[in-house]
Amino acid sequence: MRWFISTAISLPANGDGYRVDAHTSTPENPYVHPELTEILAALPQRPENPYADIAALRTGFAALMAPLMTAHDTRVTVRRTSFPGPDGNTVDVQVLRPAGAEGVLPGVLYLHGGGFAYGELDGPSPMARDACAAAGAVVVNVHYRLAPEHRYPAGVEDCYAALEWMVASAAELGVDTGRIAVTGASAGGGLSAAVCLMARDRQGPRIAWQGLLIPCLDDRDHTASRRRITDRRIINGRGIARTWDTYLGPDRGPDVPAYAAPARATDLAGLPPAYVLTCGLDPLRDEGLDYAHRLMAADVPVEVKDVPGAWHFFEAYAPGSALARRTTTHWLGALRNALTPAAPAAEHPAATTATTAPAVPA
């Protein structure tokens, strides 16, 4: 089994703009990518507990994303539908398809981020639209139930039900059930990892690839990056603790299930090939890298991309930066490659003459 590692690291001046002498990194003065320094300096401090006012949090996120939303994206077509959920509820989805595409296409189950509590937008997110266009795939964008109104397991069960609905509706949707990926960022990355665990354990639909982008995987506050990232202008370790309180409840016991926090899974064997994206100023960095290493140890093919000097979801704050474009291009390329059938290997001429080739002199 092959493992793929693709990490961006600080190097002498190159096309990515990293320099080893450009910044002296210390715990009190962490490395910030040069393209992001002015943007970070201009950010206001976030509330100590952003989840204390859920309505304001959701409104603020919608305002942040508004410049990236579009009323009409000529690359894709969108239709809205729904299906019965696992608890008698109704799960709304948006089905995206590349404009003009015909026939059967690969499928992507896209699970949005937002701390399990926000992130649901009226139109398909830029990430869902980009995934559809870049991979030439049918994308099912799931509006799962949100915390704190609906705590675990409501959201993840909606996501798993969406996977089953996608496969059951494959003929109608034009989806190749042999080429289905599950992906999402932040909470969506954690939900993606959980859905893969559920599909394996429940002998459910086959998943060809999991894209875990800056994933929120571990409710336990025990990594160096969780402790190190304290800057209140960006998502920090204390904010992540509030995220888990909102999703699981502040009075939860110690035995949190792996479908809630996938880092707690003790067996990662048999899971789909994975792509894991992390950022250097993200409190979730270490749990993402640790999960990638554990997948490798379980003989799961893994590709890792780390972005030094960038914070959690930095692309939304610096969408025009070269760093954001490169990061987006990288994960979309990995998704496209995972869903593109491999071309048959050309027969090597030597293969047909191996039995008649002259002996090599001793």
Report the Cα 124 to chain-centroid distance in Å. Answer: 16
Cα distances (Å, whole numbers) of residue 184 to 52, 62, 127, 352: 25, 18, 8, 46
Enter the tokens of residue 252: 């939860």
Residues forming a β-bridge with 90: 84
Indicate if 312 belongs to the active site: yes
For tokens 């191996």, name the residue: 354
Query: On the CB side of 116, how many CA atoms lie within 13 Å of its CA?
Result: 33
Q: Which of 186, 192, 218, 231 is catalytic?
A: 186
Burial class (CB in 10 A: 0-12, 13-18, 19+), 31: middle
Would you tell me how many other CB atoms lie within 10 Å of the CB of residue 159?
23
Indicate if 169 belongs to the active site: no
Indicate if 293 belongs to the active site: no
Q: Which of 23, 112, 143, 312 is catalytic?
A: 312
Q: What is the dihedral of CA 293, 297, 301, 304, to 10 degrees?
A: 10
Separation of alpha carbons 234 and 303, rounded Å: 26
Which residues are annotated as catalytic? 186, 282, 312
